[in-house]
Amino acid sequence: MLIYSFLIVLKVLLAIIPIIIAVAYFTLAERKIIGSMARRVGPNTVGIFGITQAIADGLKLFLKETILPSNSNLTLFLLAPVLSFLLGLVGWSVIPIGYGLVIADLNIGVLFLFSVSSIAVYGLILGGWASNSKYAFLGALRSTAQMVSYEVSIGFILICVILCVGSTNLTDIVLAQKSVYFLIPLLPMFVLFFISALAETNRHPFDMPEAEAELVAGYNVEYSAMGFALFFLGEYANMLLMSAISVLIFLGGWLAPFSFLTFIPSCVWFALKCLFFVCLFVWARGAFPRYRYDQLMRLGWKVFLPFSLGWLVLTSVVLIVMNWLPF
């Protein structure tokens, strides 16, 4: 029993440590890419070509003094960033990076991911409320309204994929794309899902909760040192998680795009496809201006929700008709 428990802990650590390293270097890659887009150099002082800049930033935040607001609810104030960061890692427990390469191959993997994404709201609103600051609380309210609004559209998009596959198991969804990626028949849903993922992760051009010019950094304005770092890492972990989900449900997961490329390991294909979405997240930040809040809510409720619901009905009708056909 002790050996079995040790193996489970080892398996979890082997999954979490690469994710944390990837999150740390995601921040460096973002600064490098945006620097190139703006014709700047980007981080290039710490280490060769700035390669250890992420480590230096982490050490700096770890060594800084943690300031606790005197009027805050200290228990919830300290719990909020931990919750936000842990939820960004928990979702990876059901993400298969290859056939059988998954911590927990749940039959309800899609529902598990949707649940984890929904709970992530609590970390942000707890941080804003426990800070006892009007700026932080306003940022938390904006974040909650935004994430709840776009989760509805994401739910309908995932239901479309589930109807096409007939399973909520992520491995089954990937294997159903052996002949054709869902990107092709469900292209409008892919576009909606990616834009909704930007809003769900509070990323530009939907970074209303962190609109620095308006809200003094939003829900995390009272946080410093490791509290701020955990919120920051949690946001980037969620971006990587949304990239992985996009790869699994639209780009065939670990499957090679062409049969003559199957000699490349499956985990390498999965990582390359995730890198593509990561670059899209960074490109969106560098290319588009921020939406107004009323435009953000109008887009979610008056455009994305009706369109995703209509496409769900269309998908259902097409599948029923195909089942009736004799061939």
Q: pLDDT tens for residues 114-128?
A: 888 888 888 888 888
Segment 154-164 mean pLDDT? 89
Kindly report the pTM of this predicted structure.
0.88
Averaged over 227-253, what is the pLDDT? 86
Q: How confident is the model at residue 210 (pLDDT cuts 50, 70, 90)?
A: low
- Show the tokens assigned to 41: 């150099």
Given a cut of 80, is residue 113 above it in pLDDT?
Answer: yes
Asked whether residue 105 carries a pLDDT value surpassing 60, the answer given is yes
Give me the chain's average pLDDT, please.
83
Residue 212 has pLDDT above 70, yes or no: no
Q: Is 67 exposed, middle or buried (0-12, 13-18, 19+ CB in 10 A)?
A: exposed
Measure the CA–CA gap between 3 and 102, rounded to whole angstroms. 20
Report which of 30, 42, 21, 95 is spatially closest to residue 247, judged by C-alpha positions.
95
Over range 186-214, report the average pLDDT.
81
User: pLDDT band at 209, cuts 50/70/90?
Assistant: low
- pLDDT-based confidence at residue 292 (cuts at 50, 70, 90): confident
List all residues 6 or more positions away from 92 whose beta carbon is below 8 Å from its beta carbon. 15, 16, 19, 103, 241, 244
Residue 251 pLDDT: 87
Residue 308 is inside which H or E element, if any?
A: helix 305-324
pLDDT by residue (tens digit) across 52-92? Answer: 888 888 888 888 888 888 888 888 888 888 888 888 888 88
Q: How far apart are CA 46 and CA 48, in angstroms?
A: 7
Domain locations along the chain: 67-324
pLDDT at position 137 is 83
Looking at residue 133, what is its pLDDT?
81
Instruction: State the residue for tokens 């946001």.
Output: 235
Q: Given this model, what pLDDT does residue 33 score?
A: 85
